[in-house]
Amino acid sequence: MTTTLPLFAQLINLFAAILLLLSFAMLAQRRVLSLIDLFAAQGLALATSTVIVAYATKQPHLYFSAALTLILKVILLPWILHRLIRKLDVKWDVEQLINIPTTMLVGIVLVVFAFNLASPISQLASTVTRATLGIAMACVMLSFLMMITRRKAIPQVIGFLSMENGLFFAATSATYGMPMVVELGIALDVLVGMLILGVFFFQIREQFDSLDLQHLEKLKESE
Amino acid sequence: MSATGLLSQLLQLAIALALAPLLVGWVNQCRAWLQNKSAPSLLLPYRTIRKLFLKDAVVASNASPLFRLMPYIVFGAMCCAAAIVPSLATDLPFAYAADAIALVGLFALARVFIALAAMDIGTSFGTMGARREMFVGFLAEPALLMVFFTASLISGSTSLPTIVDTLAHRELAIYPSLALAGVAFTMVSLAENARIPVDNPATHLELTMIHEAMVLEYSARHLALIEWASALKLFNYSCIGVALFVPFGIVVEGADWLAMLGAAPALIAKLVVGGFALALIETLSAKMRIFRAPEFLGTAFLLAVLAMLVTQLLGG
């Protein structure tokens, strides 16, 4: 391997790897509070990599996306989640449907799948970020996996939010970001969705005395 | 085979044998400092080995020849490994006898013999330690192999000198895959060398010990060889880490033997830093339950596999 990538591409690759690592860390995390911190860290890595892409490709609108990510996903959403947890008083360890090593192995399979899926697209692309598309897709799939394997409501919501992180990263790496209107729309959606889900948490807990979503699988009152 | 190669081979082996106990002493000293204890002498491991060699050996009455043979086999395997791992120079005539995979096999050979000897006497501690050792080993080995495979993918060869040559010649750049592999390798080394998150080298508490439980029955020269061998193992792992992840300053093929004078201080400086880092990790982390070990080593395996995949995707 004698050809060295330009410095920006190296930095983008580095942050892509960090994003992937953080996705796995979230998948393996047992505690809700650390999960939120990891989510904030993921947002920070995303914002930094977006700034680097913006600087490398001279796309000023990406700076706005990065700022939006920073405000929304690093500050606002973790703050709302922390507040929710304090109000609900739920600092339990996360319960998982399958144990952590198995989840990790499934995660590796998903990463291989995502990398294979992305490689033909990456070969056709000419953007500086083309190599990271596979990682972005892997992040999306890992967040999916997290939503599937978690039993309680809050980790599932964090999985949903981190999936949005992955999608955002995919958009940045495939096409240097979405149009501003779309991005603002998604950001607003996520924020409003978070607020509504916050109300839902209280409703679910009032009904079932717990945030375990398995209670929602029963359709009848009594069985 | 050149005269320079032979010289560097011999020098490297001599340095490994001589410095391995010093590295253990240095780690112990750092750990004592970090924990606000008065530190033992840097030379304590040498004195222990000397003391043990001077004593008379006691062997259990029902011990088989395997029990007596084990220290020599383990010590021999570790010496072999020390000759293969390029720590000072990559022009090693002996290194072509075994590649990275065989090196992992060499470590496995030592592990199997320690476990067999531990079960040979038939005490419950020995058996328990042997089982735990094999348990940790079977989880750590795949991760170690994956780390080597990542390095092999980058350099296109499983021969250690070639790998180190390639890595040492690359331009200075950010390689996410090597960073991931480095973390994975650190975790595996901690487990393989009976260090704190997995095992505690300083304890004889029956419920937690792994390595110490296996060698409880040994005394005198046998124990001295085992202690020396485990010091060599730590030294070898440190050298592998140095060679794979910070190979700067190593003497590459074709350099004259004067370069060796610069390589030795560089190696020692890196080992000093590495030993301090090891003491820091051991001080900062708590020993975990044995049943958490699969999770710990599973994470190491995961990181190593990720490193390999990222190498494929990002090209280094």
Percent of chain B predicted with pLDDT > 90 = 13
Domain ranges, ordered by start, for chain A? 7-222
Predicted confidence at residue B257, as pLDDT, reads 64
Position with higher pLDDT, B250 vs B241: B241
pLDDT tens for residues A156-206?
Answer: 888 888 888 888 888 887 777 777 788 888 888 888 888 888 888 777 777
Q: Select from B302, B313, B315 the Cβ nearest to the Cβ of A135.
A: B313
Measured in angstroms, the CA of B112 and the nearest CA of chain A are apart by 25
B293-310 tens-digit pLDDT: 888 888 889 889 888 888
Q: Which A residues, 174 through 203, put their C-beta within 8 Å of a C-beta on chain B?
A: none
User: Tell me, what DSSP letter sits at residue A10?
Assistant: H
pTM of this structure: 0.83
- Report CB contact under 8 Å: B313, A21: no
Closest CA to B225 of A137, B63, B233: B233
List of chain B residues whose C-beta atoms are within 8 Å of the C-beta of residue A118: 313
- Find out whether B263 and B249 touch, Cβ atoms under 8 Å: yes
The minimal CB distance from A134 to the residues B294, B299, B313 is found for B313
Chain A positions touching B154 (Cβ under 8 A) are 1
CB atoms within 10 A of CB B65: 8
Chain A residues with beta carbon closer than 8 angstroms to that of B306: 17, 20-21, 24, 108, 111
The pLDDT assigned to A1 comes to 39
The confidence band for B255, taking pLDDT boundaries of 50, 70 and 90, is low
Write out chain B residues lying below 8 Å of A18, CB-based.
176
- The per-residue pLDDT for range A45-90, each reduced to its tens digit, is 999 988 888 888 888 888 888 888 888 888 888 898 888 888 877 7
- Residue A114: pLDDT over 80: yes
Q: Which pLDDT belongs to residue A128?
A: 67
- Across residues B137-144, what is the average pLDDT? 90
Closest residue to B295, CB basis, from A4, A24, A101 = A101
- What does the pLDDT look like over B27-76, one tens digit per residue? 989 989 988 888 888 888 899 899 998 988 888 888 888 888 899 999 99
What's the confidence (pLDDT) of residue B144? 92
What pLDDT, on a 0 to 100 scale, did the predictor assign at position A187? 81
Question: Do A63 and A72 form a contact (C-beta atoms < 8 A)?
Answer: no
The mean pLDDT of chain A is 82
Listing DSSP states for chain B in one string gives: --HHHHHHHHHHHHHHHHHHHHHHHHHHHHHHHHTT-PPPPTTHHHHHHHHHHHSPP---TT--HHHHHHHHHHHHHHHHHHHHS-SSBS--TGGGG--HHHHHHHHHHHHHHHHHHHHHH--HHHHHHHHHHHHHHHHHHHHHHHHHHHHHHHHT---HHHHHHHHHHSPS---HHHHHHHHHHHHHHHHHTT-TTT--TT---TTT-SHHHHTTT--HHHHHHHHHHHHHHHHHHHHHHHHHH--TT-B-TT--TTHHHHHHHHHHHHHHHHHHHHHHHHHHSPPPPGGGHHHHHHHHHHHHHHHHHHHHHHT-
Q: Taking CB atoms and an 8 Å limit, are A13 and B173 in contact across chains?
A: no
Q: ipTM of this complex > 0.85? A: no
